[in-house]
Amino acid sequence: MKKSKCARMGFKSGNILMASLLSLLLKESSYGYSLVEKLQRLGIKPDSVPYAVVYRLLRDMENGGLIKSKWEIEDSGPSRRMYSITDEGKRYLQRWVYNVKENLKFMENLVSKIDQTIQKEGGN
């Protein structure tokens, strides 16, 4: 995966979905279908994220070295591809959290200044 620039790690929906999947894999290895269901715990509705998008992102994350996968062959039922986070994925997640915190500070400051200006204008 390319070096992450601050703008690429911000609040774009793809970055949020990637961080969400990595955070789930940080807790435990899982397979794609289960990850979509677990996104609910983070407030992401499963019907708002198509399975194809999640599987494409998982493939991209694996190609970028953020996650790895292996096939689990069950005695009964279909085989499943289990995903787990790599050390590079953990480092990406740490950088993402840092950048989001910085963006939040900026946004809180901006909102505060806008609020102050609106209050002053409203008082005239």
> Global pTM?
0.77
Q: How far is CA 7 from the centre of its chain?
A: 15
Q: Considering its fold, how many domains does the chain have in total?
A: 1
Q: Which amino acid is at 39?
A: L
Contact 31, 80 (CB under 8 A): yes
pLDDT of residue 13: 54
Residue 43 lies in a domain: yes
pLDDT of residue 7: 43
Question: Residue 99 sits in which domain range?
Answer: 9-123
* 97: Cβ contacts below 8 Å, ≥ 6 apart: 19
CATH of the domain at 102: 1.10.10.10
Q: Which residue has the tokens 């409203």?
A: 122
* Rounded CA separation 38/33 (Å): 9
Q: Which residue has the tokens 């790690």?
A: 9
43: left (phi over 0), alpha (psi -120 to 50) or beta: left
Residue 65 lies in a domain: yes
pLDDT of residue 8: 46
pLDDT in tens, the chain (124 residues): 444 444 444 455 568 899 999 999 999 999 999 999 899 888 888 778 888 999 999 999 999 999 999 999 877 888 899 999 999 999 999 999 999 998 889 999 999 999 999 998 875 5
* Rounded CA separation 20/96 (Å): 11
